[in-house]
Structure 1
Amino acid sequence: MYDVLVYIIAFILLIVSFVKDKKKTKQAMMKAKKSILNILPELVGVIIIIGVILSLLNPQTISKLLGEGSGILGVVSAAVVGAITLIPGFIAFPLAAMLLENGANYLPIGAFVSTLMMVGIATLPVEFKYFGKKLAIFRNLLAFGFSFVIAYIINLVVNVL
């Protein structure tokens, strides 16, 4: 129901914009079309990746690896995978949602996503070049440690709600 309401509001605002200034509205619609066409290949890639992961990992496997029973090993494993994987956010978040829907727990998923966004093992050589080895390693270690705090906070918030 919420989705329908958002679409109705967007359509009404589009009509208001068109009535106010047809030229600008048409330009905005053309820009929106170009943006959608530019992101479409990546969006199809996301759908394919999620489909492949769902076909390889059934809900029972996901629950076993990342569910409530996975314990600290599941959280640490998810954090390590997130730290060494180079996945953009627009793929990571739908992947995390899919994992949660299939039995994963918020704690390992929080650790996975936060290390994915904050820790850059794959990008470490670039950080060495611009920040120096000492600062780059310190930043990544700090981010890795802090990702567990973030995961814990996410888990607390979800359990409270």
Structure 2
Amino acid sequence: MSALNIAMYAIVGLLLLLSLIKSKEKTKRALKVAWKSFKGMAPGLFILVGFVGITLGFITTDMISKLLGESAGIWGTLLAAVIGGTILMPAFVAFPLGATLLNVGATVQTVTAFVSSSVMVGVATMPVESKAFGKKFAILRNALSFLLALLLAFLMGVIL
């Protein structure tokens, strides 16, 4: 465990202690809400982490380098953006997955396309979004988000 992790845990522990001192009842209520939220997210998170682990077990680093590395060029970036936009993944999962992809040979540009489209584009949630905001809005928002994800990816490719 890094020093930063230890420091973060210490800060959180101190803040929790201060909260308990100030109001035990509110702190207990907040912890119950947090636990309920965790229980709701945990199954999906564990399934997703398991899926990523199994997938990375079958997909070799050579395959990732070939599909998402330097040699893939613009097609690798587009592939990453399409995959990212079609899966439903929260940001707290997308970022560590992006780091894993970088470590096994994907480029910054393709990882940026994947992470930004997975967070901004919602093909999986489009039916719900269409009902809530209208079909035209949902399509326009997703299309603009996809284009922005590609723009961000190309900018990161140039900058980094």
TM range (shorter): 0.7 to 0.9
Q: Establish whether residue 37 from structure 1 lines up as the match of residue 49 from structure 2.
A: no
Instruction: Give the conservation status (yes or no) of the 8 Å contact 1:50–1:98.
Output: no
Instruction: Give the conservation status (yes or no) of the 8 Å contact 2:88–2:122.
Output: no
Q: Which residue does the alignment assign to 1:4?
A: 6
Q: Which residue does the alignment assign to 2:83?
A: 81
Listed as ranges, the gaps of 5+ residues in structure 2 are none
Deviation digits for residues 39-58 of structure 1 (CA, Å, limit 9, x no counterpart):
21122112111111111112
Flag the structure with larger Rg: 1
**Share of identical aligned residues, percent?**
41
Residue range with higher mean Cα deviation, 100-109 or 111-120: 111-120
Which SS does the other structure have where 1:103 is aligned? Answer: coil
Listed as ranges, the gaps of 5+ residues in structure 1 are none
Tell me the CA shift for residue 113 of structure 1.
Answer: 2.6
Q: Establish whether residue 152 from structure 1 lines up as the match of residue 154 from structure 2.
A: yes
Which SS does the other structure have where 2:43 is aligned? Answer: helix
Q: Which residue does the alignment assign to 1:104?
A: 106
Tell me the CA shift for residue 4 of structure 1.
Answer: 0.2
**Partners of 2:126 and 2:23 in 1: CA distance:** 49
Instruction: Give the conservation status (yes or no) of the 8 Å contact 1:66–1:104.
Output: yes
Q: Which residue does the alignment assign to 1:57?
A: 59
Which SS does the other structure have where 1:55 is aligned? Answer: helix
RMSD of aligned Cα (Å):
2.6
Deviation digits for residues 77-127 of structure 1 (CA, Å, limit 9, x no counterpart):
2223334x2322254333322212221111112122333344445556666
Number of residue pairs aligned between Structure 1 and Structure 2: 156
Query: TM-score by structure 2 length?
Result: 0.78
**Partners of 2:125 and 2:40 in 1: CA distance:** 25
Distance 1:104 1:22, change over 3 A: same
Query: TM-score by structure 1 length?
Result: 0.78
Matches within 5 A, 1:128-139: 131-132=134-135, 138-139=140-141
